[in-house]
Amino acid sequence: MMIDLPYVQSRKNHYRYRRKVPAALRDALGKAEIVIPLGKTEAEVVKRWPRANNEAEKRLAQALKAAESPKGKTTSSAKRTPLERYKWANDHITGLGLDPDWSGQGDPEDAEAIARDVIAESIAAKYPQDAEGYAQGVSGTDKVLLRVLALGAAAKRPEATLEDARKFYLTEKVKGTHDEVKKTQRVDRAVEHIRTALGRDPAISSLTRADAREVRDHMLKDAEMRPATVHRYMNDIRAVINHAIEELPLPGVQNPFNRLEVKNDSVAKEERKPFTPEQLEKTRGRVLAHASEDLKLIWGLLEGTGCRLSEVAGLLVTDVILGHEHPHINLVFHAHRRLKNAGSIRKVPLIGDALKAAQEAVEMAAAEDKPKGPFLFPRYAATSKERLASSAALMKHVRKIVTDEKVTVHSLRHSLKDRLRLAGVEPGTIDDILGHSSGKVSERYGGADATLGVTMAAMKKAFGP
């Protein structure tokens, strides 16, 4: 043939497109190779090859999606970063038999240049074109592939980002360990704190000492996070970034989180006190008289359930179960709001003022003059920054009444715990209500509904029927 196109096989009197399927995708695709007829002449091969290659690429992409997500849903972990797309594109063109070191400088009529043009045209043909013939709506992966095809070795390598570092660390250091799930969740939470504090997925080489301090201070301002917890997250962050610098590698890059101290003098976070009955009554009155409607309802749920602020502020409307024998909040992991640990997954009973607050919140979310969405409290639900804002807003009211720095919004959890203990509730049941259990199977027997019945009885014992 005049043009040596990849995956073209000559038979006795015809040509065919024959491509082996990677072993990891064979089960999903149901075959070990893709074979497509191309015709009997070289002219037919050149004409039909782009369509055959597109079809093969489509089948492989579908198989990859199925292999990564058995339920047919692409997870966030399957999304490629710019660096991953660049690496994939280079591996892909190498697999097509092209020269990865091709510079793009030379005779435009040589076999390499022609093959790259044919492949690029086959990719562009998948998309609709504008009046000038330019492809529209090209995917991010195909954009990178087209750039690498056009520029060859001259294509600029994207910088490694925080997401690249996270994925690399989890693959190299966490995957396959006995506590993989727990470690993955903690690393993900640590990385998410960086994104929230900085408002972006930063390139590792762009991180500065000021960025590191901003991340640390952001976590320390979280009313639900103690300095000891911040210290653990900082250790995770240092490990992720150090591993990326050493192994990706990123020569000359320094980790700005190294040797950045977390002071343990935040008394309000280290040793919180419960509200005294007088403090609680006055603070409740202050909130009900001066706070916004959504903050009043959040306060009512916090006081009556002992939930963490992020758990309540991040609720979906569907998390509030009012039509049940035992009305309750169903706390589960959500993409927009994670829970502290596996033990935090629980059903929290609703009675008294907390039940009224939940009913009013659901009604308010369904009001005709409100934009419809999944969140119970749209103003504070979507991001950790918004949930932090709800904490700050409530703390302004608390400080109008209580000056003791050891008393915060989070103290409502301590107040409920004391109330349950004084009512004679078993420690294990208190842990079930507050989400203090570790989530180990050995700590809990029976179904969730049985546990809900027990915790509902405990709440009625503490608050009255």
201-233: per-residue pLDDT in tens? 999 999 999 999 999 999 888 766 788 889 999
User: How confident is the model at residue 155, as a pLDDT?
Assistant: 85
Residue 131 has pLDDT above 90, yes or no: no
Q: How far apart are CA 361 and CA 319, in angstroms?
A: 12
80-91: per-residue pLDDT in tens? 888 988 888 888
**CATH code linked to domain 277-463:** 1.10.443.10
Which distant-in-sequence residues (6+ apart) come within 8 Å of 440 by Cβ?
none
Q: How far apart are CA 66 and CA 21, in angstroms?
A: 14
Q: How far apart are CA 394 and CA 387, in angstroms?
A: 11
Residue with tokens 């096989």: 9
Contact 204, 279 (CB under 8 A): no
Percent of the chain residues topping a pLDDT of 90: 41
Residue 156, φ and ψ in degrees, nearest 5: -70, 130
User: How confident is the model at residue 437, as a pLDDT?
Assistant: 58
Residue with tokens 């004391």: 418
> In which band, very low, low, confident or very high, does the pLDDT at 134 lie, cut at 50, 70 and 90?
confident
Task: Compute the average pLDDT of residues 20-45.
Answer: 81
Q: How far is CA 164 from the centre of its chain?
A: 14
User: How confident is the model at residue 224, as a pLDDT?
Assistant: 65
pTM over 0.85: no
CA atoms within 13 A on the CB side of 138: 19
Neighbours of 90 (CB within 10 A): 19
Classify residue 32 as exposed, middle or buried by CB count within 10 Å of its CB (0-12, 13-18, 19+). exposed
Of 11-25, 33-47, 71-85, 415-429, the one with minimum mean pLDDT is 71-85
* Residue from 150, 154, 149, 166 nearest 81 by CA: 166
User: How confident is the model at residue 446, as a pLDDT?
Assistant: 56
What is the residue type of 148? V
Residue 461 has pLDDT above 50, yes or no: yes
The conformational region for residue 252 under phi > 0 = left, psi -120 to 50 = alpha, else beta, is left
Q: What is the largest CA-CA distance in the chain?
A: 95
Which distant-in-sequence residues (6+ apart) come within 8 Å of 90 by Cβ?
100, 148
380-395: per-residue pLDDT in tens? 888 878 888 899 999 9
